[in-house]
Amino acid sequence: MTNLPVISSDDLIKFLTKEKKFVYDRTRGSHHIFISTTKRVSIPERKELGKGLFRQILLEIGVSETEFITYWNS
């Protein structure tokens, strides 16, 4: 298991839209919904995402922790 960085929802949204080509769909309360051709993911608006929640979102979008860390460090 890798050591994930602590990130905000804004940082994760940038990754989704720039690297994974997710498109903003709508907001419901404090959750932003993004869609791709085959997947939908809900991102809560937070200054820091918990590691468990962050791992679950990565799993939902089909991105490994290693792949995200490579993006984050570049």
Expressed in angstroms, the distance from the first to the final Cα of the chain is 20
Above 70 in pLDDT, residue 1? no
Structure tokens at 63: 């991105």
Crossing angle (nearest 10°) for helices 9-18 and 51-61: 10
Above 80 in pLDDT, residue 62? yes
Predicted confidence band of residue 3 (pLDDT cuts 50, 70, 90): confident
In the chain, what are the domain boundaries?
A: 9-73
Crossing angle (nearest 10°) for helices 65-73 and 51-61: 100
Q: Selecting from 3.30.70.890, 3.30.920.30, 3.30.70.580, 3.30.930.10, what CATH number does the domain 9-73 have? A: 3.30.920.30
Q: What is the pLDDT at residue 57?
A: 96
